[in-house]
Amino acid sequence: MAEAHSAVAFSFSVTSEGLDVNVNREVLGLIFKSGVTSWKKRLGRFKNTFRTGIYPVTPMGLGFIVTLIASMKAKNFAPRITYLDNIVDTMPKVDIYDNTVNIFGNVFYGVVVCGAFTFTIRMMLRVLFTYQRWIYEVRGPVSLRTKIWLMFVKAFRFIGQEPLLTSFQGALPKLPVPSIEDTMTRYLRSVKPLLDEENYDRMEKLALDFKNGVAKKLQRYLILKSWWASNYVSDWWEEYVYLRGRSPIMVNSNFYGVDAVLIQHTPIQVARAANLIYAMLLYRRTLERQELKPIFVNKIIPLCSSQYERQFNTTRIPGIETDTLVHYKDSNHIAVYHKGRFYKVYIRHGGRLLTPKEIEVSLQKIVSDRTEPCPGEMHLAALTACDRVSWAKARQNFFSKGKNKTSLDAIEKAAFFVTLDDEPQSYSDLDPTKLNKFSRSMLHGKGYDRWFDKSFTLVVCSNGTVGFNAEHSWADAPVTGHLWEFTLSEDILNLRYTDDGHTKGTIIEPLPNPIKLEWDISTECQDVIQTSLKVATELLNNVDLYILIHNQYGKRLMKQHKISPDAYIQMALQLAYYRDCKKFSLTYESAMTRLFREGRTETVRSCTLESVEFVKAINDPSVPRKKCRELLMKACNVHQKSYREAMTGNGIDRHLFCLYVVSKYLKIDSPFLKEVLSEPWRLSTSQTPHQQTDKFDLNKNPEYISAGGGFGPVADDGYGVSYIIAGEDVVFFHISSIKSSPTTDSERFSKNILNSMQDIKQMLESS
C-alpha cells in the first residue's frame, strides 16, 4: 500500500477550527512535470506532422518562400491568379504610413502558392516512385531512362531538409492491381511443375472459366478499392490472415529472435535487462520524434514506414469472432514477469527516462522479492497461448472489473512486456543443440511465461542472454528486426557494463518501487487457465525446432560466382526438400512490398520449372556439371525475376487472396479461387534482414550479427525455414516442423540442407 499512499497529492479533514488541507508538494510537482512532458510530446508530434507534410521543403525555407511571394505580391510582381486574387481582395487591409496594404491577403497568397509548389514536388516524387524498371537493372547495364529517372529522384529528394521517418509517406505510390490475364499466366506457370498432366489440364480449365466468368466483376471491385484505399491488400490481410484466425497465435503466428550469440555479455540478468530496456526506450523516443532514418533501397528509394507506428504501446485484444489491435499514444511503464508474478515498472520519473542503473535497481527489487504468486497468477499468460475464442470468453467473464481489470490494463497498456526467465540459455560450438533449446525458449517458452498478445516480449534469461517473441499482426519481421538490431548494437557499442558486470551510471534520485499486480482469480477462472495451459503445452511439445549453423561458406562464395545469395539458398532448399520428401512442393518465400504505401508482403513461389529442372539434373550423375551450372544460373535468374515482380506489385497470391475476399463479400462461389486458397505451403521460407542500421560494419565485426530468428511450420506436414546470411561466411537456418508428422523431421532436413549447400559448391567449383 506504500505506492497508494504516496500517490495521494493532498488530503483534508474537518476540525473545530475549520477545513484543514494538507498538500503534498512533491506529488503535485510530479503531476506538473508529467503534464509538461505530455504537452511537449503533443507539440513534438504537431511539429513532426508539419515537417513531414511540407517535405522536402524545410520550415525555414517555407517561411522564406512565403515572405518572398507575399512581398512580390505587394509590389505587383507576382502573377495574377483570378480566383485566388478574388479571395485576396476580400481580405481586410491595414493602413501603414498613410498606405493601405493588404498584408493578410498577400501572406495568404504566398501560403497558397507555396503550398501548391510543395504539393507539386510531392506529386512529382510520387510519379517518379511509380517507375519500377530500375529494380531489374540493379546488377546489370543501366538504361538511359533509368539514369535520367535517378537524376530527377536525387534532385527532388535533396531539395531541402533531411527526411524524417515518415517524410515520404505522402509521396509513395499505391500498390497497383495486376491484370487478371497476368495473374492467371503466372499462376499456371507456378503450379505446372507440381501437377501431372491430367491435374494441370483440370486447373487450366478452372482458371480459364474463372478468367472468362466472375473474374472481371471481382476485378472491378478490387480496382475501385485500390482507388479509394491507401493499399488494396493490407487491411484485409491484417484482418483475415491474422486477426480473424481463431487458433493459438503461439507457434502458429508469433515469431522469435535470438541474441548475438558470438559475443560474451554480462552474466547478470538484471543488468542485461536494464541496458536492453533502456536501449528500446531510446529507440521508442527516436520513433516518437521521427528521428529514425527511413530505410532506402540502394540508398535512393524509400520504403514505407507505416508499420513502425504500432511497435510500442500496442496489444492484441481477443474477440469471439475477430481480435482487435489497440495502440496507445504513450505509456510510462513496462510490464515484467518473474517466477509467476507480474509487475508494473515505471520507466519515467520527473519527466525523464530512467537511467540503465535505475532500471537495474528496480528489476533487482523484483528478483529479490520473495512474495508468492496469487492463486492462478503463475500460469495466467497461458490464456494468451490458447485458442482465441476461449481467451476472449475468459477475458470477458473474469477480467472485466475489479483488481483483475486494473492489473490486465497495466499489462495491455505497457510499452512492452519483459520476462525475466529463471533458466539460463546459451550457445556453444561444442554443443550446437544448445541453440535449439535457446530458440525453442524464445518461440514459446513454457507456454505461460510470455504475454503473446503484446507487440513483443523481451526475454532475458537467468545468465543474461536475451531474445524476443513478437506478435505478427501489427507488422512484419523486418520492423521488429530493425528494433532488435538497434537494441543489440546500442548495448554492445554504447551502453556496455562495468568490470563487475553491472550497468554504468548512477541513480539520480529516489525512484518509485515496482508495483506487484494484484489478482482475484476465482476457482472457475483457474480451471480455464489450466485448460489453456494444457492446450499450450501440447502445442509446444509438438514443435520440432532445429538450428543449422552453416559456416563452411556464405555469401562471399555465392557472390564470387555472381549468384544472388537469396536465390542460391532458395535453390539449395529446393534440392534439400526434394531429397527429404522425394517430391516437389508449393514453396512460399516472403518478399516485401514496402515500395508502396502501407505495403507489407507478397509471396515468391520459389518452386519453378527451372528450379525443378536444376534439382533433377544435379541429382543425376550422368548430367555434366557444366550443364548443372547453366541450369542453376537459369533457375536463380528466374527466381530473381519473380522476386522483383513480387516487390513491384506484380505478384500472384495477394491479388488472388483479395479476389477471394471480394467473392465472399458478394457471395459468389468460385471453384478456382477456393482451390487456390486451400493449397498447402509445405515449404514456407523467409530471409531475416540485417544491417538496417548503420551502427556497425559486419565486415569488420561479423561477431556482432544476431543468430536471427524463426517461426513455426505453416503446414502440419511441412517445414518452416527462416535463414539469416550472417556476414560473409556464415548462414543460420532455423528449421521447424511438427513432431507428430510422420513425413517431416527438422534435424533430417537440416542435414539435407547441409549436403545440398555442399553439393552445389562442389558443382560450381568443378564446372
Question: And the C-alpha cell for 315?
Answer: 496489444
Q: Coil, strand, or helix at residue 619? A: coil
Q: For residue 77, what is its C-alpha cell? A: 510582381
**For residues 273 and 369, what is the distance between their CA atoms, to the nearest angstrom?**
17
Question: For the packed helices 565-581 and 746-766, what is the interaxial angle rounded to 10 degrees?
Answer: 120
Residues 117 and 65: beta-carbon distance below 8 Å: yes
- What letters, b where the CB count within 10 A reaches 16 and e where it falls short, cover 310-342? bbbbbbbebbeeebebeeeeebebbbbbbbbbb
Is 502 one of the catalytic residues?
no
Phi, psi of 236 (to 5 degrees): -70, -35
The CA-based dihedral angle spanning residues 503, 334, 27, 42, taken in that order and rounded to the nearest 10 degrees: 110
Residues 77, 93: Cα–Cα separation, whole Å: 19
φ, ψ of residue 724 in degrees (nearest 5): -130, 125
End-to-end CA distance of the chain: 76
Q: What are the start-end ranges of the E strands in 371-464?
A: 417-420, 456-460
E-assigned strand segments in 27-137: 94-96, 99-101
Active-site pick, 333, 338, 349, 472: 472
**Residue 141 burial (10 A CB sphere; 0-12, 13-18, 19+):** exposed
Q: 249-268 as b/e, with b when 16 or more CB fall inside 10 Å?
A: bbbebbbbbbbbbbeebbeb
Per-residue HEC secondary structure of 522-578 comes to: CHHHHHHHHHHHHHHHHHHHCEEEEEEEECCCCHHHHHHCCCCHHHHHHHHHHHHHH
Q: Catalytic amino acids?
A: 472
